[in-house]
Amino acid sequence: MSRILVTGIDGFTGRYLAPLLAAEGHEVHGLVQRAPEPGQPMQMGVHALHACDLLDPAGLLRVVDQVRPDKVAHLAGIAFVGHGDVGAIYTTNLVGVRHLLAALAAVAGGDAPPSAVLLASSANIYGNSTAGVIDESVPAAPTNDYAVSKLAMEYMAATWQARLPITVVRPFNYTGIGQSEDFLLPKIVSHFKRRAAVLELGNLDVERDFSDVRTVVDCYARLLKSNTAGQVFNVCSGVGHTLRAVLQMAADIAGHMPEVRINPAFVRANEVQKLVGSRAALERAIGPMAGPELRDTLRWMLAS
């Protein structure tokens, strides 16, 4: 059994990763930005919660020194591309991660070095690549502040590789029950579940690689058990779907199709047109990925 620290454990991905790690027999500690309200039940699979902001280096050092994690999964950060506070994107996704790595390295200098540190980056770093299906060798070409912050985080983390066993993951789009409607697929599912008459969207011809959150956390858990320090992996399905195709899938399942209106406000400047990844390197490292196809994920979400 390992003691695993999961940052952002109360976020969308953390709420799926924690019970999976606990079911494997690990002692799961969670880092949250704010302490839960008194009387609030403990999140499933979590041994203990520790409240600390990523921008509090002294507080992070205290938490890491207290937990002495064997492994770390860093999920905390700003994950929404359209987040309005650019300063917060950079400070949280870059400076905050540096504070965490500094705390881990300080404790590792003693008698409790972690055996694995998993850092969540993003496939958005690839931008508008013309490579077709994207593998990890494709040059980064970020087109928005969120993507730049994640790429900068990767470069910064590389400077700590000599002191910490860091593995970087670049997840492509993924979804599931409980994801915020700020994200595209939960918004679409919500409209279909309500049998809404009208659904406003942006560019219907963008193509994305969608995975199920349950598949993604399974990959993270397997990477935490693997000797992959110093490596970078796409986490993806390898299959692209246009937004039009997603709408048709949802309509087939729900037996309903709202009127789809294009709202120019939802069309992002520098929109990435196609983002489809190769999972070959990941499968060489951890074995075959098994998980629901997009239609099954949509069916699960629509039935919730």
Report the percent of the chain where pLDDT is more than 90. 84
- pLDDT band, very low/low/confident/very high, at 247 (cuts 50, 70, 90): very high
Structure tokens at 161: 């590789």
* Domain residue extents for the chain: 3-175+211-238+277-283
The model carries a pTM of: 0.94
pLDDT value at 259 more than 70: yes
Superfamily of domain 3-175+211-238+277-283: NAD(P)-binding Rossmann-like Domain (3.40.50.720)
Percentage of the chain beyond pLDDT 70 is: 99
Q: What number is the average pLDDT over the span 273-285?
A: 95
CB-CB contact of 226 with 220 (8 Å): no
Phi and psi of 280, rounded to 5°?
-60, -45
Query: Taking Cα atoms as reference points, which of 265, 243, 255, 233 lies closest to residue 302?
Result: 255
Mean per-residue pLDDT, 63-80: 94
One-character DSSP codes across 12-40: TTHHHHHHHHHHTT-EEEEEESSPPPTTP
